[in-house]
Amino acid sequence: MNPPRWQDSGKDPDYRFSLANERTFLAWIRTALAVLAGAVLLHQFATALGPKWIVTVASGAMAIASALIASGAFYRWRGNEIAMRHSQTLPSTWLMGVLAMFAGLLAAACGIALLIR
Amino acid sequence: MIGRDPGLQPERTALAWVRTASSLLVVALLLLRAGFASSSGSVVVAGTFLMVCAAATYGLALYRQRRLVLDPTAGVDAALVATVTAFSVLASFTMLTYILHDETFR
């Protein structure tokens, strides 16, 4: 399959940085999948955790977060590759901040759910 | 560039692929089980398809590893990256479908 135009542009980066970028992408995907596994487990086993709607909303939010992390991972990989090819600084990303915020909100929601019941 | 020792990076990259495939397998199993538990046909079908995707990801890992053995400087095809992303997003949508089904039929 022919590479997309951006993957041919600029200069080939040091392959070790490319491999590191690839592993970073895969780590983000595993993070997304871990969040998704958490969503499934929460929904399946949190039968006594407060009102049902909180569990539903929390696991739904986790599933959506997982999709956002996965797609963000792709664009981050692509953005890094392009930056490396043109000898630019790596772009900043909203991914980490969103993940941290999301984890905090989830913990708070579960805490509230435990208190309400 | 010629003769520069790739070190252990190609090996770590291949392992990263295998770990990602394993994570996808676990999620596929969880969703498949959830589908059976709630008798949701669409989730069972999606879960089965995700199992196939997980198997395919192991295949992609093997392909990538072979490429790296032949040429440690070989960059990853964007198609591979896009495919793994698509698998993960598909798993998310399967979970959302399951939640919807669960809300409707409980």
ipTM of the complex: 0.91
**B3 vs A: CB within 8 A:** no
CA distances from A23 to A63, B2, B28, B37, B59 (A): 23, 23, 22, 35, 17
Look up the pTM and report it: 0.90
- State the virtual CA torsion across A32, A34, A36, A40 in degrees, nearest 10: 180
Any A CB within 8 A of B61 CB: no
Partners of residue A66 in chain B, C-beta under 8 Å:
88, 91-92, 95
- CB pairs A-B closer than 8 Å: 114
Coil, helix or strand for A69?
Answer: helix
Chain A residues with beta carbon closer than 8 angstroms to that of B23:
29-30, 33-34, 37
Inspect the interface and report whether the beta carbons of B26 and A56 lie closer than 8 Å: no
pLDDT score recorded for residue B4: 62
Residue A98's pLDDT is 79
Would you state the pLDDT for residue B94? 95
- Residue B1: the pLDDT is 47
Confidence category of residue B104, pLDDT binned at 50, 70, 90? confident
| pLDDT < 50 positions in chain A | none
With contact defined as beta carbons under 8 Å apart, do A31 and B90 qualify?
Answer: no
Q: Is the pLDDT of residue B26 over 50?
A: yes
B20 versus B72: which is more confidently predicted? B20
CB within 8 Å of A104: residues ≥ 6 apart: none
Across B10-34, average pLDDT: 96
Q: B14 to chain A: nearest residue by CA?
A: A23
